[in-house]
Amino acid sequence: MYSQKKYCTKMFTLLLVSAGLIALYVLRNWYLKRPRCKSNAKLHGKTVIVTGSNTGIGKTTAIDLSRRGARVIMACRDKQRAEAAISDIKKETGNNEVVSMELDLGSLQSVRSFAETFLKSEFRLDILVNNAGLMKGGKTKNGVGMIFGVNHLGHFLLTVLLLDRLKECGPSRVVTVASKAHEYGKIDFNCLSTHKDLAVGESDWALFKKYSHSKLCNMLFTRELAKRLEGTNVTCYSLCPGAVKTEIGRYSSFLWCMMSAPILSLFCMDAESGAQTTLYCALQEGIEPLSGCYFSCCAVQKVNADAKDDAVAKKLWEVSETLCGMS
């Protein structure tokens, strides 16, 4: 009797575990089944810039745009990795109009140099994809927080320097990759004034908070940019790609990587799935009236109060201009 009861208990436990695993598998597949960009747009004769395009979402975005016939400028810091990615893209798409230009978003001088070189050598700019991002401590070459400097400030300066060319080639678009992490973000202007950073601290948690703040910056920047572009033929959008297996956490501590690895492997999409909303914002016909909005899953999304605070967005623009030496 005892052994039979023990056997039944084991079988019940096994059934519960099996049911849990099946439910987890179904939930995972449901979550990872994301909408896809269905635009059939062709881009022959068009020029696009994609920052951080030698890996992950950026590379996948570059592949898709290249396949549609665009001239793709891969704006990357690591020239060797960019050249390797270009070789892959040319083989996969058959489009030889893929070139790299060195861009270190952590250096305002590099951003200016990139813009100058681009404007002298390229005569069109139809789509600018601000894709690059990182979660790394330290300071940029200009003394601002690394995450703030790369994720927001470098892209801010790059966009502003290229705006006239975008206007000349309209209709054109600016697409900035943000994140759902913006919901945990705040803009502390006192901290920016004192430390040239969005927060203090270098722990993994502190870096995540800085990352969240920087993603809120991306959204507020897009919102203010849309206001400044009213009456032009340029529109702009921010987006969340979803949880994607990329190299964004490559600078995180070993402990953080070990803790996050099971979650990433179970619930994170591949780069192709993660790039779909970027492509939607870059290509989808008819979304021009939604300039300044935030997208996810190939659809416009509601945002919290912090992400649509026009006064904070305007102040962030002005502070960014000052930090870039533009005012």
Is 184 an annotated catalytic residue? Answer: no
Q: How far apart are CA 286 and CA 283, in angstroms?
A: 9
Phi/psi at 244 (nearest 5 deg)?
A: -125, 140
Q: Which amino acid is at 116?
A: E
**β-strand pairing of 299-300 with 294-296:** antiparallel
**211, 237, 280, 294: which is the annotated catalytic residue?**
211
Q: How far apart are CA 176 and CA 130, in angstroms?
A: 5
Alpha helices in the chain (DSSP H): 2-32, 56-67, 79-93, 108-121, 146-148, 154-168, 189-195, 204-228, 254-267, 271-274, 276-283, 310-323
Q: How far apart are CA 299 and CA 280, in angstroms?
A: 8
**Cis amide leading into 171 (omega within 30):** yes
Cα 99 → chain centroid: 21
Active site positions, annotated: 211
